[in-house]
Chain A
């Protein structure tokens, strides 16, 4: 029920106060002014409510009415989300453009889900069945990729007394009736859920399956597990957005939720132009068919930016509850934290570190804790993986958002300004990054793909670490002063850096590397190292090794050999053996 609960008494940017508020609750969704702008109560003191308004408040006057809705800020969940693009409070941007043109006007309202559109409904239960919360009672093919499973909302259970026949249905049609202990309940394809509340599941599982991203530095060295949480911090231009776009494109998740939170309009446009044209390597379908976009760009209202991460994660949980593996990217969580800071400042709350409110860590924790691999209420396995970009001022990781985020994630992809400047992309710094999932997913690789990463990974990492300490000497005295064995380490480290870690998002072939290709590539580099080391031990001078033509092949295999032609790496392996074999013969004592 929408009714007036008070009137505006003070306005300063996105935060207003209303007085005369007797009947309202914390976090209730309200409508403000004659334009009925959406807002949310974020403080109650006596008869005064503090309200954050999700639209531009210019022109609003004291005395304007404030209406209560009696419900918290909630989302519409149902068929029609997939492939859509929404603002921070789930207004569909395409519908807004149809109503108010190229620029986003104020007081424009549109339902998140299309009321007119019909969907091919298929029932999954019969009259007389008992329905439990979270149980699947029907489905529609939402996109060719996604079967949208209709779930009994948490809290709804009873015996099915009526169910609609298969056929084209709209989301408002009553399709199912259950006799609950209290009264009969009618279900439609649509349900509503408060954005700030995590959706329930049966139980959590320990994440053990890797989210395969096709990005070597991630999959090989710093993997994310399905249901895990990762942070990707970096200064401006370090590559956060490109990396997140790469993950959104190539991850082996079923559903992608991408939140552009306080970032650039053009980046959203890029996704909108690219994704429908890009084809998912596993399914051969356009990527947009499994993607939901939330776009609250930097110049859109700051309160809606604050809400956007919740809007995104609630949709993500909804698809998780259908039993899907969902991956969510939030670019950038710093802009969200800054929105919190701005609202907190307007409320004149006591600031903690760098002006951020004292509850910043609690909010971050609550966000990342919504990641997980779970058994859903209907008994399926689903997962929600979270990747949050962090944009620290000056690229300095000691600031509060990075520091607190680190407490709640288990995978840290530290982007490095120097690497980015040298156009080493992804600029994930291999000395500073870590993944606590590394050991957890090794078993999966062994059992499911027969790939034993462990020794390759650790040997490659040892070489990179040795390089880092050798470089300190090189900077002082030059590489020539090192013994050949160490110069070989430098050479192999270069192969690892340029031939393996560097992976251009723009390279048609190398933008995605299959696990098998990654594994073989790393094998060859390590094998090269082992064979060359023997020759160096025979006192073959390093320059002989460095002149081997096979080095160029190793540097270029990433973009020369496509994922479906990994077998061609066998020829390269033979070539390594032949070329080093020749040296071995010459120098064998």
Chain B
């Protein structure tokens, strides 16, 4: 990390102790909490860390790269006199960095436009602008049922082996501003942060961005599975620091993809246990909520500044358990969640989005007349209600057998099938317009008798019910 600025701060030789990812240095003066430090290992390697705790005698330091190879007498520690900052510049688009922002693509370092503290600072709620513009992703499960708005944080909850990466990549490739403003001249950027993911996955994203020609607008921050664990606590913050610069100083619309937040949380748990903190649920620290919020809340729009930050964090739910602290606390902070379902994936549905537990909280503010289409709110609500009823019918059918179901309930089963296969299901490359998505919805809704569709208005039914136009299914 040669790009870290270290003004000639004080230097200490020798450590008091080494414990897991932590070192303690004795006999220091004038060290600040959260200060950046450079550590020179006995073999000459330069490592970095930050001060977690300090008193008049001892500073406890978290070492990003891990403490392997550090010895008590021979390690040198130099204090930078400032918090961890990274250089930010528009030129960083098109480049690949490690987890703390040092270029690893073999090209010369971009010229910094300025340096920025990776921790950022909270946006004053009085200057925020509420998100109201929808992003057309071309994916029906999202656009139709869980519309994503510019400035929203909407995570993907998935499980190991499920196609969340494909979904996120498709979303990133296809995303464009929908509605009235569609087609306006806009500056887009993607900031991608990888925490502890496999090399293959990072490569998949890189290829996907390259194929769509978007690579020049992408900055990648990679902390891969084999990279130092503690470093990944910095990765999303470094990425968001660049995103904030691009959005709020350069007026760009930035989509931030963070994957995999579960790995991030595990790194935090590891650090917490090294500090002997009282563990909370499943060993995660009690401040996990606040820590995650310090990442997820770095999203939104600011009045008077052109740009925006939209976050799509990805996390794998251990054991597919949505009540696990990582997804649970995430959903308490984000503005909804897209849940990927193993059952649907096994039935061959792509994207296997489980609609019932998914939710976009901001959707209501970005859809309807003049935004998407007038019938959209009622259509989405009716689709949810009907699909929720399908689940009841399925459990009843499991008991009494399908033949014993009433006619209407059999129609519900048929609706459920069509909903999953034709509405939710679509091709990896298929980019549906919002009108195509809504027409697909009407097509499957029309399987049900009209008087079951209580959430739609008479006018809407008169105009759209029974329509089968508009969509060629893949």
| Contact surface of A with B, Cβ cutoff 8 Å | 9-13, 17, 56-63, 85, 93-94, 96-97, 101-105, 235-237, 260, 262, 264-266, 268-270, 272-273, 295, 297-300, 302, 335, 338, 341-342, 345, 351, 354-355, 391, 393-396, 421-423, 474-478, 480, 498, 506, 552, 555-556
Contact = CB atoms under 8 A, between A and B. Distances in A.
Nearest to A349: B278
A156 B126 CA distance: 37
B56 A266 contact: no
A552 B451 contact: yes
B125 A394 contact: no
A80 to B, nearest CB: 16
7 contacts: A59-B35, A61-B30, A94-B126, A265-B122, A297-B297, A422-B356, A506-B377
B359 A237 contact: yes
A9 B58 CA distance: 10
B125 A61 contact: no
Interface stretch (B103-111, B188-196, B198-206, B381-389): B381-389
Q: Which of B53, B55, B125 has the most chain A CB atoms inside 10 A of its CB?
A: B125
Contact of B300 (A96, A265, A396): A265
Contact of A297 (B117, B125, B329, B364): B125
Contacts of B385: 422-423
A310 to B, nearest CB: 19
Contact of B297 (A298, A338, A345): A298
B163 interface: no
Interface string B149-189: 00110000000000000000000000000000000000000
Interface stretch (B61-69, B222-230, B332-340): B332-340
SS of A interface (majority): mixed
Nearest to B129: A269
Nearest to A396: B323
Contacts of A93: 124-126
Contacts of B362: 266
B115 interface: no
Contacts of B399: 475-478
A298 B290 contact: yes
A345 to B, nearest CB: 5
Most B CB contacts (10 A, CB to CB) among A17, A58, A335, A395 go to: A58
Interface of B: 29-35, 52-56, 82-83, 117, 119-131, 151-152, 248, 277-281, 286-287, 289-290, 293-294, 297-298, 300, 302, 305, 323, 325, 328-329, 331-333, 335-337, 356-357, 359, 361-362, 364, 377, 381, 384-385, 388, 392, 395-396, 399-400, 404-406, 451, 454
A299 B297 contact: yes
Contacts of B281: 354, 393
Contacts of B359: 237
A61 B454 contact: no
Given A475-B395, A552-B454, A103 B323 contact: no
A422 B404 CA distance: 25
A393 B286 contact: no
A59 B323 contact: no
Contacts of A555: 454
Nearest to B58: A10
B410 to A, nearest CB: 12
Nearest to B389: A422
A371 to B, nearest CB: 25
Contact of A342 (B82, B120, B286, B332): B286
A304 B74 CA distance: 42
In the A-B complex, list the 10 residue pairs whose CB atoms are closest, starting with the nearest. Answer: A298-B293, A394-B323, A58-B34, A103-B121, A299-B297, A11-B33, A236-B331, A10-B55, A268-B125, A269-B128
Contacts of A59: 32-35, 82-83
A265 B125 contact: yes
Contacts of B277: 345
B297 A85 contact: no
A214 to B, nearest CB: 19
A192 to B, nearest CB: 24
Contacts of B289: 262, 298, 335, 338
Contacts of A63: 29-30, 56
Contacts of A421: 356-357, 388
A423 B381 contact: yes
A520 to B, nearest CB: 21
Contacts of B406: 478, 480
Contacts of A395: 323
A422 B455 CA distance: 13
Residue of A57, A59, A269, A272 with most chain B CB atoms under a 10 A cut-off: A269
B357 to A, nearest CB: 6
Given A85-B126, A262-B293, A264-B335, 12 more contacts: A9-B56, A58-B33, A103-B122, A237-B337, A265-B123, A298-B289, A299-B294, A299-B298, A302-B287, A477-B399, A480-B406, A556-B454
A102 B53 contact: no
B122 A85 contact: no
Contacts of A423: 381, 384-385, 388
Nearest to A299: B297
B280 A355 contact: yes
Given A302-B287, A423-B384, A477 B128 contact: no
A421 to B, nearest CB: 5
A421 B130 CA distance: 25
Contacts of A266: 128, 130-131, 151-152, 300, 335, 362
Contacts of B56: 9-10, 62-63
Nearest to B57: A62
B54 A62 contact: yes
A103 B249 CA distance: 13
Given A93-B126, A269-B129, A12 B33 contact: yes
A404 B51 CA distance: 37
Nearest to A273: B130
Q: Which of A60, A102, A104, A266 has the most CB of B within 10 A?
A: A266
B166 to A, nearest CB: 25
